[in-house]
């Protein structure tokens, strides 16, 4: 059974205060895992902790800004201090953007790389000795944009491509060590990420261009993540559109570029207009 895989496992989830991160924390908590929730807002984490597990001893909330190396180190130290081991690290913390590169303040790309790429690298660096000891799993939650680029998301796509390259390399380095490295690529998933996406000057756009109610739920996405971890998969791409996009990008890149352009051009308040 799926629940048996995660019972009493120590699972760290960054970006755990909302969206896929919170849904994953709740799912793993319901299966009896010991869940470490990390995010910048300790208040939000602590308010959500009871929904993760009724047993307060099985949930640890750690205030963590993944752009700060010392916070990432502290997250790992607090986890080991409390639970003595680490079985799974889910690098989920991330931010997005929406603006044409020609209009973009470069601080926006730096911000996305700091959170999406360096956050993954730093947390993984300090968790790695414990994951190797447990022959555990490290996950990078990327995006279809980490396989096939999205226009008006230069910083987002770049950071997700970078995470994929980092994790693919890490997998090969530890091919003989029992470490599972999963690149997890959801398609469009209902969350707050588009509301918080940065605009050209670095301010949040405050609204989403998509109909969030028609997207995959965070809970369904979390279930896919759990199943991929149970099978110790190295890659998981979600949704029919996501799989089709990755396939088409590989075999028909020029066609995919044109189709992607048309898709983004139809968005509400498209940057192309």
* Annotation says 147 is catalytic: no
Show Cβ contacts of residue 172 under 8 Å, excluding neighbours closer than 6 positions. Answer: none
Conformation bin of residue 152: beta by default, left when phi > 0, alpha when psi is -120 to 50: left
- Judge contact between 20 and 186, C-beta under 8 A: yes
- Select from 233, 256, 254 the least CA-distant residue to 244: 256
Q: Would you call 21 exposed, middle or buried from its count of C-beta atoms within 10 A (0-12, 13-18, 19+)?
A: buried
Selected catalytic residue, list 156, 161, 261, 263: 156
Backbone angles phi, psi at 10, to 5 degrees: -95, 115
- As a whole number of angstroms, the distance between CA 135 and CA 55 comes to 26
- Judge contact between 97 and 50, C-beta under 8 A: no
* Active site positions, annotated: 156
């Amino acid at each position: 059974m799926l629940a048996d895989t995660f019972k009493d496992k120590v699972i760290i989830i960054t970006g755990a205060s909302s969206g896929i991160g919170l849904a994953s924390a709740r799912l793993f908590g319901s299966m009896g895992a010991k869940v470490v929730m990390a995010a910048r807002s300790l208040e939000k984490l602590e308010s959500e902790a009871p929904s993760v597990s009724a047993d307060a001893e099985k949930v640890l909330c750690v205030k963590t800004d993944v752009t700060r190396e010392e916070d990432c180190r502290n997250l790992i130290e607090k986890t080991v201090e409390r639970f003595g081991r680490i079985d799974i690290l889910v690098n989920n913390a991330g931010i997005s953007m929406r603006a044409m590169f020609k209009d973009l303040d470069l601080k926006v790309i730096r911000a996305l790389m700091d959170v999406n790429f360096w956050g993954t690298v730093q947390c993984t660096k300090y968790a790695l000795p414990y994951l190797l000891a447990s022959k555990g799993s490290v996950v990078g939650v990327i995006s279809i944009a980490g396989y096939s680029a999205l226009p008006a998301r230069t910083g987002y796509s770049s950071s997700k491509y970078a995470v994929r390259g980092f994790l693919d390399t890490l997998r090969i380095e530890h091919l003989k060590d029992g470490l599972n490295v999963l690149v997890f690529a959801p398609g469009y998933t209902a969350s707050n990420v588009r509301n918080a996406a940065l605009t050209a000057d670095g301010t949040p756009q405050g609204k989403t261009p998509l109909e969030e109610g028609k997207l995959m739920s965070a809970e369904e996405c979390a279930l896919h993540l759990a199943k991929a971890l149970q099978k110790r998969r190295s890659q998981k791409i979600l949704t029919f559109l996501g799989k089709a996009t990755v396939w088409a990008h590989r075999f028909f890149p020029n066609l995919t570029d044109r189709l992607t352009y048309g898709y983004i051009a139809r968005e509400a308040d498209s940057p192309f207009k």
